[in-house]
Each structure stands twice: as C-alpha cells, then as structure tokens.
Amino acid sequence: MKRLLLLLPAAAGAADLEISIEIPRLQVAEYHRPYVAAWIEKPDRSVAANLTVWYDTGMKDQEGEKWLKDLRQWWRKSGRKLDLPIDGLSSPTRPAGKHPVPLDTLELPALSEGQYTLVVEASREVGGREMVRIPFAWDGAQAVEQKSTGKSELGEVTFALRPTP
Amino acid sequence: MKVHTILLAAALALPTASAHRFWIVPSSTVLSGEEPWVCFDAAVSNNLFFPNHHAPELEAFSATGPDGKIVELQNGQVGKYRTTFDLPLATPGTYRVGTVRALLFARWEENGERQSWRGPADRLDEVKDKPGVTLMDNSSRVETFVTAGEPTTPAVLGKGLEIDFTETHPNDLFAGETASFTLLQDGKPASGVEVTVIRGDDRYRNEVGEIQVTTDETGSFQITWPEAGRYWLNTSVEGGTREISGIPASVRSAYTATFEVLPE
C-alpha cells in the first residue's frame, strides 16, 4: 500500500496518495531507461510537493546526477535546489512496465484546499523528453482519481488522492 | 599577434555596422552533478554560431565564479577560425565567461594626410602629442553565462555597458517566456538604447529574424523568446565625452551576450 500522510492545516485529517507511472516499451536502436520525476504543482506552477525522482543512483561518484538537468522542468523548479540523494525521493531508474511510486517513506508538506497539478516528467538518454500533467482540485474531503497517458516517453499515469477514513 | 589584435579591434569596433559578429558559446548552460565541465567556442564570424572568419586571442578571455573569483580556463586552443577552452564548475552557482576590450582610437592629420591609431590607454603616449589629435574611447564586453546547480545572480560590474540580471537570470530562459533585463552603462540605467537579438542557426533560414527592442527610461527591456535555441544579443551606445590625458574623447561602448533558451 502506497500510503502517506498529507497534513492538512485547517481541515485536519490525512490522505492516502497513490501514483503509478508506466514506462513504455520502445523499439529503438539504443535504449536507456528514462530519468523520471514526479511532483505536485500549485496554480502558480511552483512546487507543492516533490514525489519521486528516478535516476542512475548506483553510479560511482554520483555520476548519474550529471544528467538530472535533462529533467528540465523538475530541475528548474526544484532539483537544482536539492542536495541529492534524498531518502524516499531518490530512486533507481525502472524498466518498461507499470510502476507504483514508492511514497511510503516520504514526508510530504501540507496540501491545503485548492487547485493542483500532478506533473510527471521523463527524459531518456539519446531519446526524447515528455511531461504528463494532471490537474486536480483538492478539498480534503472528496477523493480524487485520475489518469492520463503520455504519447512518447511515458505510458499511463494514474493518480489517486483519498481522504483517510 | 599584433595583427590579430588589430583585426579583433576592428571587429569589435563595428559589431552592428559590420556583418562580423563576436560570440562565445558554451556547450551547456544548465548543469547538474559534481563539478560538471563546460566547453566554450568563441569566434568572430558572419553566421551564428559557426566559426568562419576569425579566432579571437585566448588571453583575452576570463571566467569569474559565483564567488567573484577568477577561475582558470583549461585546455585553451586557438584554431584557424575558432578559439576553444574548457571550464570546470567546482562551486555551484553562476559563472561569467567572456572578454572585455578597452581600446582608444586616435585620429589626426599630418602633412595633409589623415592618420589613425588603435591601442590601449597605456600606449596613448605614442600619439597624444600628434597635431589636432582626437580620441574615441571604445569599450566592449562579449560574454555568456553557465550555471551549476542553483543559479546565483551575476554581479553588476558598474563599468561600461552591461546587463543587470536581477529580474531574469541568464540561465533560466524558456521558450514562450518573457525575460526582463536592465541595460546599464557605468552602473546607471541606459535608456532609449536599441537592443538586437538574433537566434543562432541563421545559416539555415533566409531571414535573419532580428528581434529589436528599445530600453525604457529605467534601462529595462523585455524579450519574449519565440522558440528554444541559442540567441545572440548585441547593443551599443555612442555619445558623451570623457577626458583622457587632457584630450577629449568620444565614448562608445558595446555589449554582446549569448543565451541559451530551453524548450518548456
């Protein structure tokens, strides 16, 4: 169960967040697993919460961080301000297939009532780059369940945010 | 070497009037990871950003780190048309890389013939007593910026023509967004000055597609980047006089910068 607490300031109560990201199988001459980042954005496009970043975490001397800037929007909005690796956020790259995002150890900041966008960005070495954006409204009471599909570098992205009973 | 200096001076003197454009282009502008390296190409050429005319001298270039300290250039080389060097970005932040030229142009008449001279201020003695000598004080800056990790705002230098990047950072430019820069001359807003911006790869299109804007009374100007790519910005100011060794000199300053604009 991918579960975490979103601490709501006034309304109180918590919420469960579940995200799944699909990496499509691509027929290309040279394939490397993509770097992927997911975050929740406020209407002014600033970052409300970082959810995950998949990159070459296993390389020596943190060589894998050299290409993080190719997750261009994530790098601009928050990556460049972070000191990686971060427990619960940094994660290895994934092969083709559907992958639940491991959110269980992540501490997320408060998400007050309002409009948000879930953003998933993928960038592949010698390949393309794509962002999937899923706008949603959160009032702390009504569950949100949505999905969207990328065209090139991302498959299906599913997203559920449910108030904890 | 002297021939090179003069050629360069000529190219620098007329960046808008002549077809030659002086530029410096980094291999990347936004970098992540431990001590990333950036490779730089610099040239005076007709096309952006293809070397095809003149390689500027290596000694003219320098790099300043986020802490304001000089960072030594590595692997410098001067080719036929292009000058190259590398720079390790050991400290996170924004680096300024480029060249500044300050040259005096002297003109006078001797035995009924017009004479002219170009050189740095410390060699003015060579010509300062020539009959009816007039001077032009020419300064120009050609630069670019690269950032490792989180950007830091490049310092305002307060000398010559320059851009204050407080509002929009030179390594935070995206297609469709509007950058707001402030043009300064000797640290003060330069108003009513025309600024030209040209996207690179002009070799692959028939129209130059110049973007021309004029600075407002606060020196501010805005550029909305039509698409991703590398852009060359150029502007110059002519006017005013200052006295050098008792000789009145007309003042001309030019500023050139290269920016990378990324897709959204």
Q: How far is CA B127 from CA A42, B6, B244, in A?
A: 65, 16, 12
Q: Determine what percent of chain B is predicted with pLDDT higher than 70.
A: 93
Measured between CA atoms, the residue of chain B closest to residue A71 is B32
A3 belongs to a structural domain: no
> Could you tell me if A76 lies within 8 Å of chain B, comparing CB atoms?
yes
Q: Which residue from B minimizes the CA distance to A67?
A: B32
For chain A, the domain total comes to: 1
Range of the domain at A61: 15-163
Q: Residue A7 domain-assigned?
A: no
SS3 of chain B: the string is CHHHHHHHHHHHHCCCCCCCEEEEEECCCEECCCCCEEEEEEEEECECCECCCECCCHHHEEEECCCCCEECCEEEEECCCCEEEEEECCCCEEEEEEEEEEEEEEEEEECCEEEEEEECHHHHHHCCCCCCCEEEEEEEEEEEEEEECCCCCCCCCCCCEEEECCCCCCCCCECCCEEEEEEEECCEECCCCEEEEEECCHHHCCCCCCEEEECCCCCEEEEECCCCEEEEEEEEEEEEEEEECCEEEEEEEEEEEEEEEECC
Q: What is the predicted pLDDT for the residue at B7? A: 46
Lowest mean pLDDT among B6-15, B172-181, B237-246: B6-15
Distance CA B98, CA B63 (A): 7
**CB nearest B30 (choices: A61, A63, A69):** A69
ipTM: 0.84
Nearest residue of A to residue B263, measured between CA atoms: A72
Cβ-Cβ contacts under 8 Å, B263 against chain A: 72
Is A72 domain-assigned? yes
Interval B122-141: pLDDT, tens: 999 999 899 989 999 999 99
Q: Which of B253, B216, B249 is nearest to B238 (CA)?
A: B253
C-alpha–C-alpha distance, residues B80 and B52, integer Å: 9
Nearest CB neighbour to A76, from listed B31, B34, B172: B172
Return the H-helix or E-strand segment holding A74.
helix A72-77
> Considering CB atoms only, which of A61, A68, A73 is closest to B32?
A68
* A124 falls within a domain: yes
User: In chain A, whose CA is at the least distance from the CA of B35?
Assistant: A66
Q: Which residues of A touch B30 (CB under 8 A)?
A: 69, 72, 75-76
d(C-alpha B175, C-alpha B192), whole Å: 26
Q: In B, which residues are within 8 Å of A77 by CB distance?
A: none
Task: Please judge whether B31 and A67 are an interchain contact, meaning their C-beta atoms are less than 8 angstroms apart.
Answer: no
State the Cα–Cα distance between residues B8 and A8, nearest whole angstrom: 63
Cβ distance B7 to B54 under 8 Å?
Answer: yes
Inform me whether the C-beta atom of residue A69 falls under 8 Å from chain B C-beta atoms. yes
Separation CA B17–CA B11 (nearest Å): 10
Cβ of A161: how many Cβ atoms within 10 Å? 22
Cβ–Cβ of A68/B34 closer than 8 Å? Answer: no
Contact B32 A66 (CB under 8 A): yes
For the stretch A134-165, pLDDT in tens is 999 999 889 999 999 999 999 999 999 998 87
Instruction: Tell me the CA distances in angstroms from A24 to A120, A129, A152, one per residue in order.
Output: 14, 13, 8
Query: Could you tell me how far CA B118 lies from the centroid of its own chain?
Result: 19
A105 pLDDT above the threshold of 80: no
Better-scored residue on pLDDT, A103 or B197: B197
Single-letter code of the amino acid located at A47: V
A83 touches chain B (CB under 8 A): no
Residue A115 is assigned to a structural domain of this protein: yes
* Mean pLDDT (whole number) for B150-169: 97
Q: B32 and A80 in contact by Cβ < 8 A?
A: yes
Contact A80 B150 (CB under 8 A): yes
Q: Is residue A9 part of a domain?
A: no
Asked if residue A85 is part of any domain, the answer here is yes
**pLDDT at A60 > cutoff 60:** yes
* Interface contact B226, partner A, CB < 8 A: no
B172 to chain A, any CB pair closer than 8 A? The answer is yes
Q: At a CB cut-off of 8 Å and minimum separation 6, what does B120 contact?
A: B102, B103, B104
- The answer, for B31 touching chain A at a CB cutoff of 8 Å, is yes
Residue A10 lies in a domain: no
Of A82, A94, A138, A83, nearest in space to A120 by CA: A94
Measure CB to CB from residue A69 to each of B32, B34, B174 and give the nearest one: B32
pLDDT tens-digit readout, A107-118? 777 788 999 999
What does the block give as tokens for B198? 């040209």
Tell me which residue of A131, A130, A132 sits closest to A148, measured CA to CA: A132
Q: Which chain B residues have a beta carbon less than 8 Å from that of A72? A: 30, 262-263
- Partner-chain contact A80 B264, CB within 8 Å: no
A145 bridge partner residues: A160
pLDDT tens, residue by residue, B94-120: 999 999 999 999 999 988 899 999 999
Predicted local distance difference test score (pLDDT) of residue B10: 46
Position B14 scores a pLDDT of: 41
CB A157 within 8 A of CB A149: yes
Cβ atoms of B257 and B171 within 8 Å: the answer is no
> Which residue in B has a C-alpha nearest to residue A57's C-alpha?
B33
Which candidate from A63, A72, A79 shows the least CB-CB separation from B262? A72
Residue B56's domain comprises: 2-261
Confidence of residue A5 (pLDDT cuts 50, 70, 90): low
Supply φ then ψ for residue B260, to 5 degrees. Answer: -105, 130
Yes or no: say if B194 and B213 are a contact pair by the CB < 8 Å rule: yes
- State the total domains in chain B: 1
* Mean of pLDDT values over A39-55: 94
Subunit contact A75:B32, Cβ cutoff 8 A? yes
Question: To which H or E segment does residue A18 belong?
Answer: strand A15-23
Per-residue model confidence (pLDDT) at position A15: 81
Residue B19: what pLDDT? 58
Indicate yes or no: CB of A80 within 8 angstroms of CB of B262.
Answer: no
Contact B32 A79 (CB under 8 A): yes
CB B91 within 8 A of CB B34: no
| Buried-exposed string B246-264: b where 16+ CB fall within 10 A, e elsewhere | ebebebbbbbbbbbbbbee
pLDDT digits (tens, 9 = 90+) for B59-90: 999 999 999 999 999 999 999 999 999 999 99
Token pair, residue A68, equals 């993080």
Residues linked to residue A49 through DSSP beta bridges, in sequence order: A40
